Chains A and B, each alone.
Chain A
Amino acid sequence: MPESIPAPLIIDVLKDTFREARAALAQEGWRQKGDHLGTILSVPDTHQKSVLAALDKEQAIRVITCATEDEAATINAGLWMGGEPVVLMIQHAGLYASINTLRGVAMDGKVPTFYMIGLLSREKDKDPKDSRHSMVRFAEPLLDTFGVPHARMEGPDDVHLIPEYYRLAQQRKGPAAVLVGLETA
C-alpha cells in the first residue's frame, strides 16, 4: 500500500540532489552564483503542499513561483543555459496544460528538465490506471506517449528516484519525471 512521504525527507533529498548537481556543474567549469544550492520552479500543487510550505522556510533552496507550467519549463531552459540546477514541482493538470512547452522546449530544445508531478486525487488503494479520475489515469500514459521516462514514488523508500531521474534528465538532455503517488506529509 502506498504511503505519504514526509516533507523534510524530500527537502533533504532535494538538497543532496542539488549538491551533486553543483559538483557536476563545477567540474564542467561553472561558477556558483549566489548562495542557493538550486532553484525550485513551482506552480503550487495541493499534493506537494507540505513540501512547498517547508521550502518557504528553507534558505538554501531558491523557490520561484510561476503563473503557469509553461513558464516553469521555459524558465528552466534559461537557467540551464546559465549553469543553474533546477527542479520543477507541478501537478498533473499542469502537465496537461503545458505539454506543447514540454515538447518544444525540453524535447526539441534538448534541455534537461526534471519534473516532480503530484497525482492529486489519486486513491490510496488503486493503481493510477484504475483511478476514477481522468487527471490521475492519463498522466503516466501521456508521459509514455511523449517518451518521457518516469517513475512513481509510492513511499519514503522511493525518494532515491529523485536524484536518479534528475541525473537521467541531464544525461538524456530532455525531460524526466517523478510522480508523487500520495499527498506529501
Chain B
Amino acid sequence: MAMKPEEILQAIHAARGGAICIPTMTTSPAWRTIAPDDLSVGCVGFMGGASSLGLGLALANPDRRVVIFDGDGSLLMQLGSLATIAGARPRNLTHLLFKNGVYHTSGSQVTPGGLTVDFVQMARGAGYRNAYAVRDFEDFKKRLPAVLSEEGPLFVELHTGLAEKTPMTDRGGKPFHEQVDTLRRRLLTAAGGAA
C-alpha cells in the first residue's frame, strides 16, 4: 500500500531538528499545517524549482541539513538539476521525491512515463552519493535518522498515494517573497547577526 504523504511529513517534522525544508506542490498545504512558521520555504509559482532552491540553500548553509520535498511531475520539469546537484556535491542535502505518478494539483493527469519512471537510477546516474526507493512507512521510519544525517547528496524516491490537499484546494500560506524574507532573517539570526 502506498505511503501517505502526511504521515511521512509528520515523521520528518518530529525528527528534523534544525533542518531547512523545501516543500513543493502537494506537500505544501500539509507541511505548513504540520510545521508552521519555521525554517521552510515553499517552491510556489515556479514549478520544478525545489531542487535548485534546495541546492542554493545547502551550499550557503553547509553546517545545516537541507531537505527537499520534490514531486515527480515537478522534478521532470528540471531534470537537469540532478546533474547540477551531483556536480556541486553538497554533503548536507537530502532530496526526497514524493512519487505518485500524476500531476495531482492540476487534476491528476498521468506524468510522462507515470510510475514506470525510475528516478533512483537517474539520480545514481547523475552522480548522487546514494539513491534508493522506499515503499513502506515502517521502512521509512527506520531509515529516517540516516535520511537526515547521511552524507549527501542523497536521493530517496518515496512511493506515496495522493495528499489530502493540493495548492488548489487549500490556497493558504504566505506569499513566496514573505517566506524568502522570513527564512533569510532566521538564518541571519542563527549566524549571529541582527534579524
Contact in complex: A78, B84 (CB < 8 Å): no
* Interface-central residue, A31, A34, A82, by most chain B CB under 10 Å: A82
Interface Cβ pair total, 8 Å cutoff: 121
Chain B at the A interface: mostly helix, strand, loop or mixed? Answer: helix
Could you write out 17 A-B pairs with CB less than 8 Å apart?
A: A30-B188, A31-B192, A33-B60, A68-B81, A71-B78, A77-B53, A77-B56, A78-B56, A78-B57, A78-B58, A81-B56, A81-B180, A82-B59, A104-B176, A105-B46, A105-B176, A111-B177
List chain A residues, Cβ under 8 A from B192.
29, 31
Secondary structure type dominating chain A contacts: mixed
Which of A5-13, A59-67, A164-172 is the interface stretch?
A59-67
CA distance A84 to B184 in the complex (A): 11
Q: Which of B52, B53, B88 has the most chain A CB within a 10 Å cutoff? A: B52
A148 to chain B, nearest CB (A): 16
Q: A39-B59, A78-B52, A78-B54 are in contact. Are A29 and B41 (CB under 8 A)?
A: no
Point out the residues of chain A lying under 8 angstroms from B120, CB to CB: none
Q: Which residues of B contact A44 (CB under 8 A)?
A: none
Decide if A142 is an interface residue (CB 8 Å cutoff): no
Q: Are A76 and B191 in contact (CB under 8 A)?
A: no
Q: Are B45 and A65 in contact (CB under 8 A)?
A: no
Contact with A along B68-95 (1 / 0, CB 8 A): 0000000000101101100110000000
CB-CB under 8 A from A46, the residues of chain B are: none
User: B49, B63, B191: which contacts A70 (Cβ < 8 A)?
Assistant: B49
Enumerate chain A interface residues (CB-CB to B < 8 A). Answer: 28-31, 33-34, 39, 64-68, 70-71, 74-84, 100-101, 104-105, 108-111
**A110 partner, pick from B61, B180, B183, beta carbons under 8 A:** B180
Point out the residue from B46, B52, B88 that lies within 8 Å of A104, measured CB to CB: B46
B45 to chain A, nearest CB (A): 4
Inter-subunit contact A81/B78 (CB<8 Å): no
Q: Kindly state the interface size class of chain B when it binds its partner.
A: 35 or more
6 nearest A-B pairs in the assembled complex, by CB-CB distance: A29-B193, A78-B56, A82-B60, A67-B80, A104-B46, A74-B52
Query: A15: shortest Cβ distance to chain B, in Å?
Result: 19
Give chain B residues whose Cβ lies under 8 Å from the Cβ of A67. Answer: 80-81, 83-84
Residues in A whose Cβ lies below 8 Å from that of B194:
28-29
Query: In the bound complex, do residue B80 and residue A68 qualify as a contact, i.e. CB atoms below 8 Å apart?
Result: yes
Residues of A within 8 A of B55 (CB): 71, 75, 78
* Shortest beta-carbon distance from B79 to chain A in Å: 8
B62 proximity list for chain A (CB < 8 A): 33-34
Residue of B nearest to A100 (CB): B46
User: B52's contact among A75, A82, A83, A109, by CB below 8 Å, is which?
Assistant: A75
- Please give the distance in Å from A66's CB to the nearest CB on chain B: 5
Report yes or no: B188 in contact with A83, Cβ–Cβ below 8 A. Answer: yes
